[in-house]
Amino acid sequence: MARRISISEEELVALLKDKDQRGFNILYNNYSGALYGVLNKIIQSNDDADDLLQDTFLKIWRNIDNYDASKGSIFTWMMNIARNLAIDKVRSVDFRDSSQNIAMEDKVVYQIDSEYQTIQEVDGIGLQKVVDKLKPEYRQLIDLVYYKGYTQAEVAEEFDIPLGTVKTRIKAAVNTLRTLLQTLVLLLINFL
């Protein structure tokens, strides 16, 4: 894996909006591993995750003018693109049909492979470790909604809790994650 290139988010976004190839190379170098981890966690297929990673970067490149820094970081925006593409893929009829048509031997091999597979961390700073610091009820919701592709309504139905409660808990979880990550970034900056 290539070494991360240090660049401010504002500079990176400016390069991307100018359709500068260097900006795209930096973006891919710095974020492809994290986005691949999100995709693979939802899709659970290396080949499909590879394809979706390319689709994700293509969509980012084409839609960078829609990015609004006031609504969140570039990583959050990109992660949502990746997550939505993965969820669309999982919900597609073709994907469900191909998953059901796998031979029994292949399912056993996949199960064994997945037990021993090392999944790349969601990002370079260990987002999963930060998520693990959340209260269990928050952690479970984040896992279902952001990593497994559930909708908030599906979570509410699954756990027989009001949709408003699910939304409130997810919002609280995201705010807690934001605080934890900001603290972590400050520690890293002071360390460097």
Domain ranges across the chain: 1-120, 125-192
pLDDT tens-digit series, residues 106-153: 444 444 444 444 344 444 446 677 778 888 888 888 877 877 777 888
Q: Which CATH architecture has domain 1-120?
A: Orthogonal Bundle (1.10)
Q: For residues 76 and 33, is the Cβ–Cβ distance under 8 A?
A: no
Q: Which amino acid is present at 64?
A: I
Query: What's the token pair of residue 8?
Result: 């401010």
User: Is the predicted pLDDT of residue 32 greater than 70, yes or no?
Assistant: yes
Full-prediction pTM beyond 0.85?
no
Task: Kindly report the CATH number that applies to the domain delimited by 125-192.
Answer: 1.10.10.10
> 23 or 143, which is more confident?
23
